[in-house]
Structure 1
């Protein structure tokens, strides 16, 4: 594999289209890495450099969508003030320990978790349609802090589906609707992306020009996706969440079977 330090017009076009689409989806329900990371690998980039480059572009995307949700008031400031550093710390540790845990073990666990989330959301028709948030309580915070840390750790270590996990946590545990849950989820995902990116930068495992090219396209996709999610509401976000979830499950099962 090559590091792809040189970009021709066709590669730039591919990165632009993939970046826009993945960021659009990611800003709503997470799972954009399902599209962007395989695209980078498909261009022949070394896996470690692909991960770092994808984190750079993903950080630009999550920063943009986070600011969009914040500007539209679709987030909970108090809760994010508490959980943002938790997600950051989890991802920082996760990225540092990536070499010490067999990825196959984590991949199986994630498939099981994603399958449970998909079934739960599919069966519960009213899930995330109406806000049930009653404020921050010792119970929700007692569960929210360690779960946020674990999801952040997972993002630093592995990554696919992190945004979806954060959205699900916000809706199930705290009782937000899917739109506010998506806003909170993007902010927490930005924290985990940023922490992991810092580790990849320090390790020199990214290609700046490639990440910047995809990241610029992601700025537009993330901003548009967040605005569409807010405008159309739960009737759009919920089915997209289900589609992304089953797509992620299918992809990971396929990789697990055919890479073994």
Structure 2
């Protein structure tokens, strides 16, 4: 039987989940909203990570499907990258279940500050789609990106979508919409892989995860539609905002 406190917790997390999925489907960084919400609701860190993966996987699947139907996903190079994202996520989750995830935070802070600041001052980044096909070099760099961020997403998570968008723009020359579409599919792969491992370890709070997932699906549908229709003019400012917000969160948590 659900108590009043549990119902209140579910309502709070469903609202946070909707907003997180909406933002994440456009520019990444949804974990900045959803993970603190879990912790604020009194859910332990590992259980919060696992439950968040359950809900986020439902949302990222919704976004991936919508981007794919709108032909914003390029299977030409994703077929090389997806297996490495999966492998990285497997290693990442198994690592975080054994050690404290704070080890990565200083490096993440430096990287995501760079991503956000660079995007502010680079007026041309992600405005036009300059993808000219795959080469041995960009596939190699893409594999490194996919494995590294698969590991990071399984291990820690916040900012993965932003890193993927930035990396795909720089390596393959995509605009923000194409980078968001392809990045979302890579992000879904790492999410679902991490989810399976968290589930096997019993780190999912299903009473919260299921209703929250429904609201995150709604948020993802709305956000993806706006991203596809409004394009780079909508994605870039939200992308920059979420990148810098992740950095501020890490600074506040660890240095203040």
TM-score, normalising length: structure 1: 0.94
Counterpart Cα distance in 1 of 2:3 and 2:201: 17
| Distance in structure 1 (CA, Å) of the matches to 2:211 and 2:78 | 30
Secondary structure at 2:57's aligned position in 1? helix
Q: 2:158 aligns with which of 157, 160, 169?
A: 160
Show the counterpart of 2:124: 126
User: Residue 223 of structure 2 aligns with which residue?
Assistant: 225
Q: Which residue of 2 aligns with 1:173?
A: 171
CA distance in 2 between counterparts of 1:121 and 1:187 reads 22
Partner residue of 2:62?
A: 64
1:89-132 CA-to-partner distances (Å, cap 9, x unmatched) read 11011101125555333100000000111121111111000011
Task: Give the CA RMSD over aligned residues.
Answer: 1.6
Contact 1:94 1:154 in 2 (8 A): yes
Q: How does 1:78-157 map to 2 (within 5 A)?
A: 78-99=76-97, 102-157=100-155
The residue aligned with 1:193 is 191
Q: What residue is the counterpart of 2:35 in the other structure?
A: 37
Distance 1:235 1:41 in 2: 33
Describe the shift of the 1:120–1:10 C-alpha distance in structure 2 as closer, same or farther (beyond 3 A). Answer: same
What SS class does the counterpart of residue 117 from structure 2 fall into?
Answer: helix
The 8 Å contact of residues 5 and 207 in structure 1, kept in 2 or not, is answered as: no
* Partner residue, 1:54: 52
Helix, strand or coil at the partner of 2:174: coil
TM-score between the two structures when normalised by the length of structure 2: 0.95
Deviations 1:179-237 (A, max 9, x none): 01000010000000011111101100111121111111000100110110010010000
Answering whether residue 244 of structure 2 is matched by residue 211 of structure 1, we say no
Looking at structure 1, the residues matched to 194 and 119 of structure 2 have their Cα atoms a distance apart, in angstroms, of 29
- Offset at residue 13 of structure 1 (A): 2.1
Comparing 188-197 and 78-87, the one that deviates more: 78-87
Q: Distance in 2 between matches of 1:168 and 1:5?
A: 44
What is the aligned counterpart of 1:246 among 238, 241, 244? Answer: 244
- Greater mean deviation of Cα atoms: 180-189 or 85-94: 85-94
Query: 1:164, CA displacement in angstroms?
Result: 0.7
Give the 4+ runs in structure 1 shifted more than 6 A.
Answer: 4-7
CA spacing shift, 1:229–1:148, aligned 2, 3 Å: same
Kept in 1: contact 2:21–2:219 (CA 8 A): yes
Q: Helix, strand or coil: the match of 2:96?
A: coil
Task: Decide whether aligned partners of structure 1 residues 9 and 208 sit closer, same or farther in structure 2, where only a CA change above 3 A counts.
Answer: closer
Q: Show structure 1 runs of 5+ residues with no match.
A: none
**Residues 211, 195 of structure 1: alpha-carbon distance in 2 compared, 3 angstrom cutoff:** same
User: d(CA) in 2 for partners of 1:186 and 1:214?
Assistant: 19
- Quote how far apart the aligned CAs of 1:14 are: 1.3
